[in-house]
Amino acid sequence: MSAVRIGPYTLRNNLILAPMAGVTDQPFRTLCQRLGAGMVVSEMVSSDMSLWDSRKSRLRRIHEGDPEPRSVQIAGGDAQMMAAAARANVEAGAQIIDINMGCPAKKVCNKAAGSALLRDEALVSEILEAVIGAVQVPVTLKIRTGWDRANKNGLNVAKIAEQAGIQALAVHGRTRADLYTGEAEYDTIAAIKQAVSIPVFANGDITSPEKARAVLDATGVDGLLIGRAAQGRPWIFREIEHYLRTGQHLPTPGLDEVERILLEHLAALHAFYGDVMGVRIARKHVGWYLATRPGGKEFRSRFNALDETHAQCANVREFFRECRQSLETKDEQGVAA
Ligand SMILES: Cc1cc2nc3c(=O)[nH]c(=O)nc-3n(C[C@H](O)[C@H](O)[C@H](O)COP(=O)(O)O)c2cc1C
């Protein structure tokens, strides 16, 4: 796979953290990039700038020290509002503007937005042209394969996007009507890749190095967007990168490293959101990290009752201490037997 270029930016590898509202905040983006993602995309920001003053919106916007290239995703259904939002984000430091036409949420800022736009190709065109005309930085687009299974117009939208000057296209292998059900399909993505000459990224259900290889082979795309599989497993990027490059698996990170990463993540969340909000947001991340570990579920319900930052860190340390102890006990029993 050759390196992907988006405007002046050459990505370090072709694995991108998919935008996820409520998940891909600055602490998580920074961690994923450190652990191997070639690019990370912000949580979507509404194009309705009257909403931008809330604390939540301020935290979602671009920040000093964000991983580069700083790609900011905007969502909305009005071309002029989208253009203005793109401009304001570039003034605030965005280096790439990503347009959300992939999110199935019914309404963003009281208008059809996200993947709902796919139904109206004229409006798609109008929005893309307005945004591209408003900024000097590269504009990318994220779509689904179509409106519903009877109207898989992803291919048309891809051609419209290329024509308008979109510089890279990410395609989630589900229609809007599928929401998150069923399995992502990659045939439509392969057809889109064949039909356009801008970089195309495949997205949906890429959960392992083998699946990444299979999707790349099946579609011929230029890169992959990985979303949910990175939750609680930000090292998935280096695992996939290594496997694609060498055909070999990296060893899974040991308890010590997972503990270190999780504590670093907790500290970053506490610092970024402040104690009260940081403690709340940390709960879901800790749940994801520990979901598959023995005792993880029970730990989670105790952890969710904690409301102090230092108690969260101390309890995570204790959890890992117990994990190590139970491993040692098992080893001793193995030796004795
Ligand atoms: C919690 C959550 C939030 C999401 N938020 C966004 C978003 O803000 N913008 C967007 O384009 N897609 C959003 N998505 C969709 C993901 O970017 C991605 O397309 C989808 O999860 C499929 O990829 P995956 O199977 O690798 O998770 C979100 C998905 C999840 C699970």
Domains of the chain in sequence order: 5-246 (3.20.20.70), 255-336 (1.10.1200)
pLDDT at residue 337 in the model: 58
Dihedral (Cα; 319, 321, 324, 325), 10-degree rounding: -110
Q: Are 320 and 295 in contact (CB under 8 A)?
A: no
pLDDT value for 106: 61
Question: Residue 240: is its pLDDT beyond 90?
Answer: yes
**Token digits of residue 308:** 């102090």
* Predicted local distance difference test score (pLDDT) of residue 115: 72
Query: Going by DSSP bridges, is the β-strand pair 96-101/5-6 parallel, antiparallel, or unpaired?
Result: unpaired
Residue 110 has pLDDT above 60, yes or no: no
Which two tokens mark 111?
A: 């208008």
The conformation of residue 148, written as its DSSP 8-state character, comes to: B
Mean pLDDT over all residues of the chain? 93
- Which atom from ligand 1 is nearest to the alpha carbon of 174? 22
With pLDDT > 90 as the criterion, what percentage of the chain qualifies? Answer: 80
* pLDDT tens sequence across 304-317: 999 999 999 999 99
Smallest Cα–Cα separation from 285: which of 207, 232, 230, 227?
Answer: 232
Dist CA 17 CA 12 (whole Å)? 13
Q: Which of 15, 16, 20 to mutate to test the pocket of ligand 1 (most atoms within 8 A of CB)?
A: 20
How confident is the model over 53-108, as pLDDT tens digits? 888 888 887 677 888 999 999 999 999 999 999 999 999 999 999 999 987 766 55
**CA 326 → CA 143, 253, 255, 260, 284, distances in Å?**
46, 18, 12, 19, 25
Does 49 count as an annotated binding residue? no
Could you give the CA distance from residue 119 to residue 305 in angstroms, rounded to a whole number? 44
Residues in the ligand 1 pocket, defined by CB under 6 Å = 18-23, 43-44, 73, 100, 102-103, 142, 172, 203-206, 226-229
Q: Give the global pTM.
A: 0.95
85-106 per-residue burial string, b: 16 or more CB within 10 A, e: under 16? bbbbbbeeebbbbbbbbbbbee
**pLDDT category of residue 109 using cuts at 50, 70 and 90:** very low
More confident residue, 50 or 159: 159
Output helix, strand, coil percentages for the chain, rounded to the nearest 5: 50, 15, 35
* Catalytic residue positions, numbered: 103
- Residues with Cβ within 8 Å of residue 40, at least 6 apart in sequence: 16, 17, 24, 29, 30, 32, 33, 67, 71
Nearest-Å Rg of the Cα atoms of the chain is: 21
Kind and range of the H or E run holding 212 = helix 209-219
Distance 44 CA to ligand 1 centre (A): 10
Range scoring the smallest mean pLDDT among 82-91, 158-167, 173-182, 190-199: 173-182
The reply to whether 304 sits in an annotated binding site is no
List the beta bridge partners of residue 200. 169
**pLDDT at position 107:** 55
pLDDT exceeds cutoff 80 at 122: yes
Provide the pLDDT for residue 51.
84
